[in-house]
């Protein structure tokens, strides 16, 4: 598995050589080529707050797994960050009509925003996005999935192990080994069958915690460090919940005593954190290919369709794309909800490892199916809900002290260290702002400074 860090991106990103189709046509601030961030005084907010100085290891893996050149990989990351900001603004503008957003294209990041009202099309297209008029709002599909989640507690879901909201097809998808199992789950949940599409699958996902190599930690078994964190003055790291329970002692990759699990949730979610002793220091880095360090600049969540990379001790660096957020998956131990489904491969031993898009932490490896020889599907526990659940602060390359989650800034209700979801509202400096993309706030990311993350209400 992999040691994972976190790093904050408050300054300029490694900009890119322009790659024609990779630049989001019409999106305000879409990136053009720059090779020297310091020489560019007008970097877009997404470049500054979301992409920032992407490490070479991420770009190497994207070249290998996504078939991109370095310039294409860098341009794609910038465009995906811009798309996330525009999607957030349009979500706020469309209100109840909003039906989801995603990026697409093998070497580009073209944004599509769905709505149930044809009158919204000009608003969407004015922001440079493609409009898709559909039947069901995202809130209706989310509510249907929530009913499936509740029914899964009493229904047998081993033969219908995965379900999620698929914004690209405007449906709740249930992936089933046996169609009858999916039908039974939908009926038990009382969900309108017209909202659901059943897909046949042979996959039976499982947690990925086998005892396999690389820098890891031990707890009677073996798992990977996720992202280093702090809680006040206490240092530690985030990891997968199935790796240990509260009170479980850990030792490091070198078998030296390391720390103790402070809290763990599994099943239901797959999240945990370990407090380490004074011999261990939480660093703002993930271990990349060949031992190089990959910096983490923050935790801005990437949109569906965006590129994403994973590090694990068994299989190292691999990249793919985000298939769906808000996915539920049934393992032998029970059902996990709220995870993200990706096309990145993983194998036993990769559990707990880092998922990262550009320089932004996305989550910790939970489980999956398949392998890195023939391909597979992997799920990760998103990092922002984990940080919020346990009151943790992501360590980032921006440095500085622990901001003390929840402490309000003098200028309003916005607070460094707090986790914000899209649609949350705050006040700062006498003005109200609405969050565009989920993230953990950091000093320097005050709402007026990062229009990629906040929109004045």
What is the per-residue pLDDT across 446-457, written as a single tens digit (0 to 9) for each? 999 889 899 998
Order of strands across the sheet that contains 425-428: 425-428, 431-435, 454-456
CB of 367 closer than 8 Å to CB of 391: no
Tell me how far apart the alpha carbons of residues 292 and 138 are, in angstroms, rounded to a whole number. Answer: 40
H helices, E strands: number in the chain: 7, 28
Tell me how far apart the alpha carbons of residues 299 and 45 are, in angstroms, rounded to a whole number. Answer: 15
pLDDT band at 286; cut points 50, 70, 90: confident
Element (H, E) at 216: none
Out of 337, 351, 366, 369, the active site residue is 351
For tokens 């950091």, the residue is: 442
pLDDT band at 285; cut points 50, 70, 90: confident
Percent of the chain with pLDDT over 90: 57
pLDDT band at 173; cut points 50, 70, 90: very high
φ and ψ of 145, to 5 deg: -65, -40
Q: What is the mean pLDDT of residues 45-70?
A: 73
Q: What is the mean pLDDT of residues 92-103?
A: 96
Q: What is the mean pLDDT of residues 199-208?
A: 81
Out of 6, 242, 318, 380, the active site residue is 242
* Residue 7 pLDDT: 27
Measured CA distances, 29 to 43, 82, 85, 92, 159 (Å):
8, 7, 10, 19, 46
Q: What is the mean pLDDT of residues 338-348?
A: 93
CB of 113 closer than 8 Å to CB of 87: yes
| Beta carbons within 8 Å of 159's beta carbon, 6+ residues apart | 176, 177, 178, 180, 181
Out of 264, 270, 302, 366, the active site residue is 270
Residue 269 has pLDDT above 60, yes or no: yes
Tell me how far apart the alpha carbons of residues 457 and 142 are, in angstroms, rounded to a whole number. Answer: 25
Name 451's bridge partners: none
Q: What is the mean pLDDT of residues 431-452?
A: 93
Residue 339 has pLDDT above 90, yes or no: yes
Q: Give the model confidence (pLDDT) of 344-373 as tens digits.
A: 999 887 899 999 998 999 999 999 999 999
Q: Which of 52, 16, 49 is nearest to 32 (CA)?
A: 16
- Lowest average pLDDT, out of 29-33, 236-240, 314-318, goes to 29-33
E-only strand ranges, 142-205: 162-166, 171-176, 196-200
192 counts as catalytic: no
Q: What is the mean pLDDT of residues 38-57?
A: 53
* Residue 164 pLDDT: 96
Q: What is the mean pLDDT of residues 389-398?
A: 92
Q: Which of 272, 390, 384, 271 is nearest to 325 (CA)?
A: 384
Q: What is the mean pLDDT of residues 420-425?
A: 95
Q: Which of 81, 30, 22 is nearest to 51 (CA)?
A: 81
Element (H, E) at 89: helix 70-94
* Highest-pLDDT range among 39-48, 95-104, 211-220, 294-303: 95-104
Tell me how far apart the alpha carbons of residues 386 and 419 are, in angstroms, rounded to a whole number. Answer: 10
Tell me how far apart the alpha carbons of residues 285 and 397 are, in angstroms, rounded to a whole number. Answer: 8
Q: Give the model confidence (pLDDT) of 69-97 as tens digits.
A: 888 888 888 888 889 999 999 999 999 99
Token reading at 48: 């500054």
* Residue 13 pLDDT: 30
**Domains along the sequence of the chain with CATH:** 1-113+206-402 (2.40.10.120), 419-456 (no CATH)
Q: Is 140 helix (H, G, I), strand (E, B) or coil?
A: helix
CB of 117 closer than 8 Å to CB of 83: no
Element (H, E) at 186: helix 179-189
Element (H, E) at 204: none
Q: What is the mean pLDDT of residues 295-321?
A: 90
439 counts as catalytic: no
Residue 29 has pLDDT above 50, yes or no: no
Name 340's bridge partners: 380
Name 272's bridge partners: 239, 264
Mean pLDDT of the residues in the chain:
83
Q: Is 2 helix (H, G, I), strand (E, B) or coil?
A: coil
Q: What is the mean pLDDT of residues 15-22?
A: 23
Task: Name the DSSP class of 268.
Answer: B
Q: Does the N-terminal peptide bond of residue 89 adopt cis geometry, omega within 30 degrees of 0?
A: no
Around 430, how many Cα atoms within 13 Å sit in the side-chain half-sphere?
A: 0
* Residue 207 pLDDT: 66
Token reading at 331: 């393992």
Per-residue burial over 173-196, b if 16 or more Cβ lie within 10 Å, else e, is bbbbbeeebbbbbbebbebeeebb
CB of 211 closer than 8 Å to CB of 222: yes
φ and ψ of 239, to 5 deg: -160, -175
149 counts as catalytic: no
Measured CA distances, 449 to 3, 398, 405, 421, 452 (Å):
31, 15, 19, 18, 9
pLDDT band at 200; cut points 50, 70, 90: very high
Whether this prediction's pTM lies above 0.85 is answered by no
Tell me how far apart the alpha carbons of residues 15 and 48 are, in angstroms, rounded to a whole number. Answer: 10
* Class of residue 292 by CB neighbours under 10 A (exposed 0-12, middle 13-18, buried 19+): middle
Q: Give the model confidence (pLDDT) of 404-415 as tens digits.
A: 444 444 569 999
């Amino acid at each position: 598995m992999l040691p994972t860090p976190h790093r904050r991106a408050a300054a300029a990103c490694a900009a890119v050589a322009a790659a024609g189709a990779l630049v989001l046509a019409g999106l305000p601030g879409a990136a053009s080529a720059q090779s020297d961030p310091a020489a560019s005084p007008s970097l877009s907010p997404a470049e500054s707050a979301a992409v920032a100085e992407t490490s070479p290891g991420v770009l190497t893996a994207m070249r290998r797994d996504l078939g991109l050149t370095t310039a294409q990989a860098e341009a794609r990351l910038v465009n995906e960050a811009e798309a996330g900001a525009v999607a957030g603004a349009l979500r706020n503008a469309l209100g109840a009509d909003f039906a989801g957003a995603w990026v697409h294209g093998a070497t580009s990041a073209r944004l599509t925003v769905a709505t149930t009202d044809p009158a919204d099309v000009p608003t969407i297209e004015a922001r440079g996005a493609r409009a898709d008029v559909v039947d069901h709002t995202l809130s209706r599909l989310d509510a249907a999935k929530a009913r499936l989640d509740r029914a899964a507690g009493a229904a047998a879901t081993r033969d219908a192990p995965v379900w999620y909201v698929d914004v690209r097809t405007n449906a709740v998808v249930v992936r089933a080994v046996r169609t009858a199992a999916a039908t039974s789950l939908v009926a038990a949940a009382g969900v309108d069958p017209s909202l659901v599409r059943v897909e046949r699958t042979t996959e039976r996902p499982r947690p990925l915690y086998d005892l396999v190599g690389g820098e890891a930690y031990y707890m009677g078994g073996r798992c990977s460090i996720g992202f280093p964190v702090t809680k006040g003055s206490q240092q530690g790291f985030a990891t997968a919940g199935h790796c240990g329970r509260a009170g479980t002692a850990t030792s490091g990759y070198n078998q030296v005593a390391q720390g103790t699990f402070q809290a763990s949730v599994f099943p239901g979610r797959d999240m945990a954190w370990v407090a380490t002793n004074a011999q261990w220091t939480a660093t703002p880095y993930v271990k990349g290919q060949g031992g190089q360090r990959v910096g983490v600049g923050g935790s801005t969540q990437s949109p569906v369709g965006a590129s994403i990379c994973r590090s694990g001790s068994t299989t190292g660096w691999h990249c793919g794309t985000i298939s769906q957020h808000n996915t539920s998956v049934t393992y032998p131990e029970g059902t996990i909800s709220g995870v993200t489904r990706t096309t990145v491969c993983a194998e036993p031993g990769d559990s707990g490892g880092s998922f990262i898009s550009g320089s932004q932490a996305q989550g910790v490896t939970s489980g999956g199916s398949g392998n890195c020889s023939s391909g597979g599907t992997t799920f990760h526990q998103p990092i922002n809900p984990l940080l919020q659940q346990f009151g943790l602060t992501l360590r980032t390359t921006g440095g500085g002290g622990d901001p003390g989650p929840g402490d309000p800034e003098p200028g309003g209700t916005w607070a460094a260290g707090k986790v914000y979801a899209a649609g949350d509202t705050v006040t700062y400096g006498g003005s109200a702002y609405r969050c565009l993309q989920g993230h953990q706030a950091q000093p320097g990311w005050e709402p007026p400074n990062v229009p990629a993350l906040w929109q004045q209400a």
